[in-house]
């Protein structure tokens, strides 16, 4: 996709200046101007993302470094990526003054080239078009469960899991949890039989269609899929017939899904394990 290009280094106080800056767009790789997040919203972004000391936070387009520095103040490790070398120096000096240089780094570079795979939290304050340009990279390179938090701007059809409108910024603070990729056909095995699953996925929204491949108990005829949810790598879905109700709860890993299934049959509860592999793989 073509990059839309803005640039400046100095924050813009007024909308008129911002528009003027955008009008001066140059083909230098900048996709958003330098407009720092207000301090209250920095803390709100970290609260909404639930940043803890065991997190690794990456701020893409880190400006003067305030978000990464605030994350480091909470005990997390953090780094910022910033295309303007002067802002990188400003952020490093600010980190040193804040006494968090050992936990935060600022890298001079382009957010589209950044290595983001180790992040548990990614923070953004870019333009809407920039979020959309970044979306494929976020979905492809971040691990399922990674939290992405944005000041003000959406991600198109990828609906936020949380939209906190208490922010000072009128657009609020938005949070997405990166979903595992599970679309396709799966063969799911339990102790009592085997199912075929067809998963349709649009970001974190999933539909699970379930059919019986082998029914060892003979009690599943007429089984129909119920609700299904995906949060990061956590998948839950139900199926029921007139005589049995099945609740699957598990995790999606690399080419495998597995967990526990609770079966309710004739007012008795059974719990067993389930495991699913992509249809066509050797055996679940």
Ligand X SMILES: C[S@@+](CC[C@H](N)C(=O)[O-])C[C@H]1O[C@@H](n2cnc3c(N)ncnc32)[C@H](O)[C@@H]1O
Contact set with ligand X (CB under 6 A): 29-32, 34-37, 59, 61-63, 66-67, 81-84, 87, 110-112, 125-126, 151
**C-alpha span between 122 and 147 (Å, rounded):** 6
CB 263 → ligand X: shortest distance, Å? 49
Nearer of residues 91 and 257 to ligand X, judged by Cβ: 91
Q: Which residue is nearest to ligand X (CB)?
A: 61
CB 33 → ligand X: shortest distance, Å? 6
CB 226 → ligand X: shortest distance, Å? 42
Q: Quick one: which of 77, 22, 66 has its CA closest to 44? A: 66
Nearer of residues 58 and 246 to ligand X, judged by Cβ: 58
Nearer of residues 27 and 267 to ligand X, judged by Cβ: 27
CB 20 → ligand X: shortest distance, Å? 16
Strands of the 184-190 sheet, one edge to the other: 205-215, 193-202, 184-190, 268-278, 257-265, 244-252, 234-240, 224-231
Q: Where are the alpha helices (DSSP H) in the chain?
A: 15-23, 39-49, 66-73, 85-98, 128-141
Q: How far from each other are the two terminal CA atoms of the chain, in whole angstroms? A: 39
Nearer of residues 51 and 111 to ligand X, judged by Cβ: 111
CB 257 → ligand X: shortest distance, Å? 36
Nearer of residues 66 and 79 to ligand X, judged by Cβ: 66
| Inter-residue contact 265 to 248 (CB < 8 Å) | no
CB 115 → ligand X: shortest distance, Å? 13
DSSP class per residue in 65-131: SHHHHHHHHTT-EEEEEES-HHHHHHHHHHHHHHT-TTTEEEEES-GGG---TT-SEEEE---HHHH
CB 41 → ligand X: shortest distance, Å? 8
Two structure tokens written together for 158:
């990828």
Nearer of residues 32 and 139 to ligand X, judged by Cβ: 32
| Inter-residue contact 245 to 264 (CB < 8 Å) | yes
Two structure tokens written together for 279:
């249809």
Nearer of residues 137 and 251 to ligand X, judged by Cβ: 137
């Amino acid at each position: 996709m073509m990059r839309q290009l803005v640039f400046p280094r100095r924050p813009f106080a007024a909308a008129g200046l911002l528009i003027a800056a955008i009008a001066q767009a140059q083909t230098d790789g900048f996709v958003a101007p330098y407009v720092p997040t207000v301090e209250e919203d920095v803390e709100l972004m970290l609260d909404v993302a639930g940043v803890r000391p065991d997190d690794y936070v990456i701020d893409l387009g880190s400006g003067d470094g305030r978000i990464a520095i605030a994350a480091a103040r909470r005990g997390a490790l953090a780094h910022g990526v910033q295309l303007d070398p002067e802002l990188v120096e400003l952020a490093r000096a600010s980190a040193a003054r804040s006494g968090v240089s050992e936990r935060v780094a600022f890298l001079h570079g382009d957010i589209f080239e950044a290595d983001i795979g180790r992040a548990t939290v990614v923070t953004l304050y870019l333009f809407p078009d920039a979020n959309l340009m970044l979306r494929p990279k976020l979905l492809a390179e971040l691990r399922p469960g990674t939290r992405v938090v944005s000041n003000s701007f959406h991600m198109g059809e990828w609906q936020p899991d949380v939209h906190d409108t208490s922010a000072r910024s009128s657009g609020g603070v938005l949070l997405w949890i990166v979903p595992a990729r599970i679309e396709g056909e799966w063969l799911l095995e339990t102790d009592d039989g085997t199912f075929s699953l067809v998963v349709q996925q649009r970001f974190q929204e999933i539909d699970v269609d379930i059919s019986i491949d082998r029914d060892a108990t003979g009690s599943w005829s007429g089984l129909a899929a119920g609700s299904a949810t995906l949060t990061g790598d956590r998948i839950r879905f139900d199926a029921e017939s007139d005589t049995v109700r099945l609740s699957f709860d598990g995790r999606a890993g690399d080419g495998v899904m597995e967990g526990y299934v609770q079966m309710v049959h004739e007012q008795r509860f059974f719990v067993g394990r389930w495991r699913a592999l992509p249809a066509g793989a050797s055996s679940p």
